[in-house]
Structures are given as structure tokens and as C-alpha cells.
Amino acid sequence: MTTLHFETALLPDGWANNVSVTVSPDGTIGQVIADSNPSETVVIPGAALPGMPNLHSHAFQRAMAGLGEVSGPARDDGEPDSFWTWRQVMYGFLDALTPDQIETIAFKLYVDMLKAGYTSVAEFHYVHHNPDGAPYDDRAETSRRTIAAAARAGIGITQLPVLYNHGGFGGQTPTDGQRRFLNNADGFIQIVSALYAENADNPHVRIGIAPHSLRAVTPELLGDVINALNGFDAKAPIHIHIAEQMKEVDDCLAWSGQRPVEWLLDHQSVDERWCLIHATHMTDAETDAMAKAGAVAGLCPATEANLGDGIFPAVRFAEQGGIWGIGSDSHISVNMKEELRWLEYGQRLIHRQRTVLAGGAERSTGRALYEAALNGGTRACARPIGVLAEGRRADLIVLNTENTPLAGRSGDALLDAWLFACDANPVSDVFVGGKQVVSDGIHAKQDKAEADMRAVMEKLISG
Ligand SMILES: [Zn+2]
């Protein structure tokens, strides 16, 4: 049992000073004691917070961040550049990517996530096969690579192998660009069962599934795979991309007569184990029904802005008691502050009001955003994280409060200053399962991660 002492920390009941946190050898929090007397022990200066879960990641896309910013050629149909042209860039990028490269990119990304204050990640992983589209001898090869990368970096991971079998609603034939993603039910369950067998006792790893979208699976396949999953674990998380683009909504209507969220809520038992990624385009009725179902809204404001998706109805969803968390998705940036700030700013711009997600009178917006994202991210990752309390993982971050704009602030004002006024990153120390992985802003393996990533990017760009 080790004990960490913090100058100040955000606990479930609010801010407390002189907080000691005991951590068992397996990385679980034992006791949390406020106003403790840390004699003979080093007190960690700054403000301690629960580490943030990143609930949506496609790690390999970090290596193509910034490559989709050149406008596409003028199109005869007059359509503007969109998500769908970005997707073509992504498919081209996948022509050569190897398992070694997938691991290297994920390792660098996860090191950067830790430095940004994310202590766990839900990896929505869909590049399963080799560049020809044939499965590797070990079908779970690339999933394992992201778990290995997480272990090397020291971040917790919820690995979500993606079920992808079709190129559009109603079981359409997939395109050549999708060949590395495709699995039928049997092939997919082989991956899931292999990962379950290996990681059952690992507190750093959770396994779930991610049906890619209603575009990529048929109702029959979706039902079959969820039934099989329940044989392993009836509480395993299920993530799905749901209503990112208006074209997706229109195609779903043409196929089924229903919108994607409406269809899903009508045809599956959607509850707290579900995380609906990019539920961007919903009617009021869908928004209210999704909130009532308890599914987490997986929001990725930086990516959603980058791809021109649209803006999630966060105010209405929150007013209905909806649970949401944040992810960095395509990793156009790896910056928690940017996700939370742009979530709030998007809503302010729509509603022409301030402090829209503060959730009541005289409440700190920064605190409300941070705690809401902890809560939703914890549910979506399906791991005991997100709160500094007995029985949870000892995943926490410490903000350096010596420099402006944090200097001289305390309590919720620290969160408001960080999320709305900071340009530099104030995260100084990061602990995962009680083990320190970032000290004074530095990850011990960051130079190795950077050098390896640079080599991969040079190779990928040069071909
Ligand atoms: Zn995604």
C-alpha cells in the first residue's frame, strides 16, 4: 500500500485540502482522507483531479492529422468538400499501414494523451486485416497492438473491436477502401473471445465491441453479435457511430423510414452500456429518448468541427438528464481543454447565451463540464475510474497552479481558468493505477515515442 498526499484535490463532495490517497498494489484506491497530516511525506503541490477518460479514439488517424486540409477538386455535382472526401484520404492512407506502425502511432498518441490529462482511452478499433484485406494469422493482431501500446505508455484502455461488414444501409456491398475492416459474425467473435481470454484479469484493460455504424452492419448481424457478446459479458460496453452526417440520416430514412437514433432505440435494448458516438443529428424526440435510455453521448467537438459534421444538441440533452463524455476521435488535436471548451462554445454560439452547460445558477461551467465528462467517460469505458474514491482506480492528474492564469485561484476557479483561459498545458503530474507516468509535464518514454513516430510518418508520407 502506498500513499499519495495532495495539497488540494477534487473529491466527490467537492474540493478538499491536504488529501491523502492510499493505493493498493493492484492500483485501486483504498482510503481518501481530507485534512490529513502528511508528516514526513512529500506533499504533491498543485490541484489533483480525477484523470479524464477519452471515450473515442481511432489511434491510427493521428498519423494523418492535418493531411485532409487541402480542398478537394471542384465537383460536377456542386457538392462541397465534406466528411466523405476526408474519408477517401483516410482510405488511401490505409493502403500500407503495418501492425508495427499501428502500435507505434498508438504508443505516441497515448503518451500525448497522458500528458494532456487523459488517463484512459476507449479505442474504437477497425483496421483488423492486412493491406490486401486478408485476416492476419492471428485475427486479433492489430487489436493486441493497441493494447500493447497502452501498456507501454501506461494508460488504461477499453478495446472495442469494430464490427464492419457492409458499405451502406441495408447490407450494401463494401468498397475496396473498406477491405481491412470487414468481418462476419464468426470472424469478429474470434477476435472478441481471444481478447477476453487474455485480458480477463488485467485491471488496465476492458473489452467491449463497436458495431461501426448502422451503415456497416445489418440488423441480423448486430443482433447475432450482441447475443454472442452477452455470452462473455452481458455488461460489456457497446459503442456505435450513429448520426454524424445528414447524408447518414437521409440514407437511414430511405432504408428504414426512421432516423438512425430513432431506429436504434426502437430495435435494440439501448441502455447504460451503450455509447452513441456523434449523435449529432437528432430531433427533440430522439434527444429526449436517448437521454432517458441512459446511453452515453460520445462527443468529439474538435473532430466534429474539423469534419464539418454539425453541433450536438447538448443543452437539451443535458436538461433531460443525458450523460455525455468526450473523445478525440480522429485526433486532429489531442487536447482535452479544446474538446470541452468547444463543446461549450458551440452551444453558446447557437443559443447566444453564456455558461450554457453550467447546469444551474451560480455554478462553475468548468467544473460542470469536467465532472460531466468524467461521469460519461467512466460509463462508456466501463471501468472503475472517474472519481477519487475508495474502490476506484487511482487515476489522477495534477495541475500546476503556480503560473498564470491559474496562479492565485482555488477550487472551481482553477477549472474555469484552465478550460477557458489557458493556452499552455498546466497538467504537471499524471498517475494511472497509482503509478506516476508523467512527472513535471514529462513522460519518461516521450523521446522514444517521438522518434519512432517521426520514422513512421516519414515512411508513410514517402511511401
Ligand atoms: Zn469515430
Q: Is the pLDDT of residue 279 over 80?
A: yes
**Could you tell me if 380 and 325 are in contact, meaning their C-beta atoms sit under 8 angstroms apart?**
yes
Whole-angstrom Cα distance, residue 310 to residue 48? 34
Q: Please give the grid coordinates belonging to residue 156.
A: 488504461
C-alpha of residue 211 to centroid of ligand 1, in Å: 11
Query: What value does the mean pLDDT take over residues 253-271?
Result: 98
- Residue 148 bridge partners (DSSP): none
pLDDT over threshold 70, residue 270: yes
Picking from 61-65, 383-387, 439-443, which range would have the lowest pLDDT averaged per residue?
61-65
Catalytic residue among 329, 395, 412, 452: 329
Spatial neighbors of 36 by CB under 8 A, at least 6 apart, are 5, 18, 19, 20
User: Which pLDDT band holds residue 79 (cuts at 50, 70, 90)?
Assistant: low
DSSP code, position 178? G
pLDDT band at 460 (very low <50, low <70, confident <90, very high): confident
State residue 82's pLDDT score.
67
Q: What is the pLDDT of residue 6?
A: 96
Q: Whole-angstrom distance between the N-terminal and C-terminal Cα of the chain? A: 50
SS3 70: coil
- Over residues 326-335, the mean pLDDT reads 97
Question: What spacing in Å lies between the alpha carbon of 59 and ligand 1's midpoint?
Answer: 10
Distance 151 CA to ligand 1 centre (A): 22
Q: Where are the domains of the chain?
A: 2-50+388-447, 52-381
Gap from CA of 58 to ligand 1 centroid (Å): 6
Q: Grade residue 67 by pLDDT with cuts at 50, 70 and 90.
A: confident
How far, in Å, from the CA of 355 to the mean position of ligand 1? 28
Give the pLDDT confidence score for residue 5 in this predicted structure. 96
Torsion of CA 227, 230, 231, 233, to 10 degrees: 160
The amino acid sitting at 285 is A
| φ, ψ for residue 159, nearest 5 deg | -90, 125
* Mean pLDDT rounded to a whole number for the chain: 95
Question: Is 267 considered catalytic here?
Answer: no
Catalytic residue among 278, 281, 331, 443: 278
**pLDDT at res. 93:** 77
What residues pack around ion ligand 1 (CB closer than 5 A)?
329
pLDDT of residue 88: 74
Say whether pLDDT at 76 is over 70.
Answer: no
Residue with cell 518514454: 445
Contact 327, 55 (CB under 8 A): yes
> Is CATH 2.30.40.10 the right assignment for the domain spanning 2-50+388-447?
yes
Given this model, what pLDDT does residue 95 score?
A: 84
| Chain segment 165-202, per-residue pLDDT in tens | 999 999 999 998 899 999 999 999 999 999 999 998 99
- Confidence check: pLDDT of 260 > 90: yes
Calculate mean pLDDT across residues 347-366.
96
Would you state the cell numbers that stand for residue 209, as one nine-digit string? Answer: 465491441
Q: Is 158 helix (H, G, I), strand (E, B) or coil?
A: strand
3-state secondary structure 308-375: CCCCCCHHHHHHCCCEEEECCECCCCCCHHHHHHHHHHHHHHHHCCCCCCCCCCCCCHHHHHHHHHHH
Instruction: Please state, in angstroms and rounded to a whole number, the distance separating the CA atoms of residues 225 and 217.
Output: 10
Distance from the CA of 276 to the center of ligand 1, in angstroms?
Answer: 10
Q: Which residues, at least 6 apart from 15, have a Cβ–Cβ distance to it below 8 Å?
A: 8, 9, 410, 411, 412
User: How close is the Cα of 443 to the center of ligand 1, in Å?
Assistant: 27
Mean pLDDT of 133-143: 96
Residue 207 pairs with which residues in a beta bridge? Answer: 159
Q: Which residue has the higher pLDDT, 434 or 84?
A: 434
pLDDT in tens, 381-410: 999 999 999 999 999 999 999 999 999 999
Mean of pLDDT values over 68-90: 71
Residue 435's nearest CA partner among 444, 427, 446 is 444
* Closest CA relative to residue 402, chosen from 370, 367, 426, 437: 426
Compute the distance from residue 455 Cα to the ligand 1 centre, in Å: 26
Q: What is the pLDDT of residues 18-53, one digit of tens each?
A: 999 999 999 999 999 999 987 767 899 999 999 999
CATH number of this structure's domain 52-381: 3.20.20.140
Range 244-282 burial, b when 16+ CB lie within 10 A, else e? bbeebbebbeebbebbbbbbbbeebebeebbbbbbbbbb
pTM score of the predicted model: 0.96
Tell me if residue 351 is catalytic: no
Q: Is the pLDDT of residue 300 over 70?
A: yes
Is residue 68 scored above 90 in pLDDT?
A: no
Q: pLDDT digit string (tens) for 306-320? A: 999 999 999 999 999
